[in-house]
């Protein structure tokens, strides 16, 4: 099959950090399955003055990827179009983000990037024949670090089904998880064309949440509305991904332990091993965000870009909480006050505090297995009791019970005479 892999968004955000896992987890499984791959990039150029995650981006980061085709849009021009279709960002499409205008604008920017991918997919479909140049398309963001291999069976099924698109369940948020799609180009282009139709989609009735409240106005629910509008079935693929910010800090969205519980134990170890590698390698890059390191070891140190200054660490310290994902901040509340803080070296070279984490994956998996085994044992006991009670009530019908009680009464009466 011919599979096109479309990468969209601010490509220089962290593609230099995540692309090796895209090759290993997405491209290599496709090649092993005998598919031809075409890689297309859709960049949103933020310019030389804007920052992403507090970092001024280097365009050379994208040189790691050899694109077969490339398209670029200028962020200032995209913002002007956003202001035209949603003046003052006052439309209610993303009003659950409140006064966070940057979040709302970023959501519209992503909608615009998805629309550009949709136009590309449509442009490669023969008019009248509905026959695309590509058999299947995989669309992903430039900051996705994949923790599991792509299920190529999902790609083959997507190519065969024109009324369905695959997403993950990493962070549904009452809608459908966005940013990673697998599908035939025709339905995929339909659900990714939401930029100019967002107001019409908001009028589409989806009902209420499980608790009776209205569905939130967020990106995930807007995507779900597009599926409903176009009568496209949402299928789910088992992949789990993390997002890597421009400053190098990793983040795992959604209900992490629920995501893990849905996997087999070998898959759990694979995902947690990948997360452990990411955390240990990248948590030391940024000092303003906590590492999610609730079970394992952490250490504290100072880092600097000045080559004359030394790089120093404390000893590893154990951390053991109820959750694998407890935030561990790099500060005095965790490690106590350290003499480095007031040392002449620290003041001279402007060193910054950093933390590093080593997860104890085996401990978490063992604990979860015990919890699961205990839960299964409790369910077995309850089911057994229910079955016995049901069996007892089944043979003890009113007539049978009446005859039994009558025989007991007669036997007692005759014994007393």
Are 237 and 275 within one domain? Answer: no
- Per-residue pLDDT at 186: 94
- Per-residue pLDDT at 308: 47
Are 177 and 303 within one domain? Answer: no
Residue 340 included in any domain: yes
- Give the model confidence (pLDDT) of 95-120 as tens digits: 888 878 999 999 999 999 999 999 99
Are 82 and 189 within one domain? Answer: yes
Q: Which residue has the higher pLDDT, 370 or 242?
A: 242
Residue-wise burial string across 302-330, b where 16 or more C-beta atoms lie within 10 A, e elsewhere: bbbeeeebeeeebeeeebeeeebbeebeb
What is the Cα–Cα distance from 162 to 182, expressed in whole angstroms?
A: 11
Residue 140 has pLDDT above 70, yes or no: yes
Which residues lie below 8 Å from residue 127, measured CB to CB, with a gap of 6+? none
Residue-wise burial string across 391-412, b where 16 or more C-beta atoms lie within 10 A, e elsewhere: eeeeeeeeeeeeeeeeeeeeee
Residue 138 has pLDDT above 90, yes or no: yes
- Per-residue pLDDT at 312: 67
Domain final residue, candidates 320, 342, 359: 359
Residue 247 has pLDDT above 90, yes or no: no
Are 96 and 172 within one domain? Answer: yes
Task: Please state, for a pLDDT cut of 70, what percent of the chain lies above it.
Answer: 76
What is the Cα–Cα distance from 281 to 290, expressed in whole angstroms?
A: 14
Residue 29 has pLDDT above 90, yes or no: yes
Are 38 and 61 within one domain? Answer: yes
- Per-residue pLDDT at 144: 97
341-350: long-range contacts, CB 8 A cutoff, minimum separation 24: 345/309, 345/310, 346/302, 348/309, 349/304, 349/306, 349/308, 349/309, 350/304, 350/306
Residue 247 included in any domain: no
Are 224 and 170 within one domain? Answer: yes
Residue 77 has pLDDT above 80, yes or no: yes
Total number of domains in the chain: 3
Residue-wise burial string across 131-160, b where 16 or more C-beta atoms lie within 10 A, e elsewhere: ebebbbbbbbbbbbbbbbbbebebbbbbbe
Q: Which of 44-48, 205-209, 233-237 has the lowest mean pLDDT?
A: 205-209
Are 376 and 350 within one domain? Answer: no
Write the DSSP string, 315-365: --EEEE-SSTT-EE-SSHHHH---GGGG-HHHHHHT-EEEEEEEE-HHHHH
Residue 250 included in any domain: no
Is 61 in contact with 46 (CB distance < 8 Å)?
A: no
| CA 355 to centroid of chain Cα atoms | 24
Mean pLDDT in residue range 238-265: 89
Task: Please state, for a pLDDT cut of 90, what percent of the chain lies above it.
Answer: 47
Tell if the pTM clears 0.85, that is, is over it: no
53 conformational bin, left if phi > 0, alpha if psi -120 to 50, beta if neither: left
204 conformational bin, left if phi > 0, alpha if psi -120 to 50, beta if neither: beta
Q: Look-up: residue for tokens 């962070």? A: 171
- Per-residue pLDDT at 128: 54
Q: Which of 111-120, 158-167, 202-211, 260-269 has the lowest mean pLDDT?
A: 202-211
| Spatial CA neighbour of 249 closest among 355, 352, 334 | 355
Domain that holds residue 370: 366-416
- Per-residue pLDDT at 316: 84
Are 264 and 222 within one domain? Answer: no
Mean pLDDT in residue range 387-402: 57
Which residues lie below 8 Å from residue 348, measured CB to CB, with a gap of 6+? 309
9 conformational bin, left if phi > 0, alpha if psi -120 to 50, beta if neither: left
Domain final residue, candidates 242, 265, 289: 242
Supply the mean pLDDT for the chain: 83
Residue 197 belongs to domain with CATH number: 3.90.550
H/E/C letters for each residue in 23-61? Answer: HHHHHHHHHHCCCEEEEEEEEEECCCCCCECCECCCHHH
CA distances from 83 to 154, 170, 253, 289 (A): 38, 31, 29, 32
Categorize the per-residue pLDDT at 225 as very low, low, confident or very high, splitting at 50, 70 and 90: very high
Are 79 and 193 within one domain? Answer: yes
The 3-state DSSP class for residue 69 equals strand
- Per-residue pLDDT at 357: 82
Q: Which of 22-36, 46-60, 168-182, 197-211 has the lowest mean pLDDT?
A: 197-211
- Per-residue pLDDT at 352: 61
Are 379 and 349 within one domain? Answer: no
Mean pLDDT in residue range 148-167: 96
Mean pLDDT in residue range 334-338: 60
- Per-residue pLDDT at 265: 86
Q: Which residue has the higher pLDDT, 1 or 383?
A: 1
Are 292 and 388 within one domain? Answer: no
Residue 298 has pLDDT above 80, yes or no: yes
With residue 235 as reference, give the H or E element that holds it.
strand 233-236
Residue 376 has pLDDT above 60, yes or no: no
DSSP state of 67: -
CA distances from 142 to 183, 268, 279 (A): 18, 24, 19
Q: What share of the chain is helix, strand, coil (3-state, %, to 5)?
A: 45, 20, 35
| CA 357 to centroid of chain Cα atoms | 21
- Per-residue pLDDT at 327: 76
Is 13 in contact with 145 (CB distance < 8 Å)?
A: no
Are 22 and 111 within one domain? Answer: yes
Mean pLDDT in residue range 178-205: 94
């Amino acid at each position: 099959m011919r599979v096109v892999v479309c990468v969209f968004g601010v490509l220089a955000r962290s593609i230099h950090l995540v692309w090796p896992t895209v090759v290993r987890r997405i491209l290599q499984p496709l090649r092993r399955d005998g598919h031809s791959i075409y890689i297309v990039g859709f960049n949103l150029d933020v310019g030389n003055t804007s920052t992403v995650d507090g970092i001024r981006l280097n365009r050379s980061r994208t040189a790691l990827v050899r694109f077969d085709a490339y398209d670029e849009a200028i962020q200032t021009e995209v913002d002007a179009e956003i202001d035209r279709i949603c003046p003052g960002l006052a439309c209610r499409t993303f009003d659950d983000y409140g006064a966070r205008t940057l979040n709302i604008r970023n959501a519209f920017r992503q909608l615009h990037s998805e629309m550009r991918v949709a136009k590309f997919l449509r442009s490669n479909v023969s008019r009248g024949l509905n026959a695309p140049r590509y058999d299947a398309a995989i669309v992903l963001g430039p900051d996705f670090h994949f923790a599991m291999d792509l299920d190529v069976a999902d790609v083959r099924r997507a190519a065969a089904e024109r009324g369905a698109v695959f997403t993950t369940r990493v962070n549904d948020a009452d809608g459908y998880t966005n940013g990673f799609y697998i599908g035939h180009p025709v339905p995929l282009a339909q659900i990714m064309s939401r930029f100019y139709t967002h107001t019409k989609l908001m009028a589409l009735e989806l009902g209420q949440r499980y608790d009776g409240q209205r569905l939130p106005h967020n990106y995930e629910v807007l995507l779900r509305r597009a599926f409903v509008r176009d009568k496209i079935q949402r299928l789910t693929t088992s992949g789990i991904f993390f997002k890597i910010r421009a400053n190098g800090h990793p983040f795992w969205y959604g209900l992490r332990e629920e995501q893990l519980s849905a996997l087999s134990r070998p898959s759990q170890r694979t995902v947690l091993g990948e997360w452990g590698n990411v955390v240990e390698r990248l948590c030391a890059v940024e000092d303003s965000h906590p590492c999610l390191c609730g079970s394992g070891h952490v250490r504290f140190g100072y880092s600097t870009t000045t080559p004359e200054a030394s790089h120093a660490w404390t000893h590893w310290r154990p951390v053991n909480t109820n959750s694998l994902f407890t935030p561990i901040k790099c500060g005095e509340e965790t490690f106590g006050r350290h003499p480095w803080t007031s040392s002449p070296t620290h003041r001279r070279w402007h060193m910054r505090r950093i933390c590093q984490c080593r997860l104890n994956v085996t401990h978490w998996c063992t604990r979860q297995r015990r919890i699961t085994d205990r839960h299964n044992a409790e369910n077995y006991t309850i089911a057994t009791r229910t079955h016995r009670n049901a069996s007892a009530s089944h043979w003890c019908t009113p007539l049978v019970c009446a005859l039994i009680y009558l025989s007991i009464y007669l036997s007692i009466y005759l014994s007393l005479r």
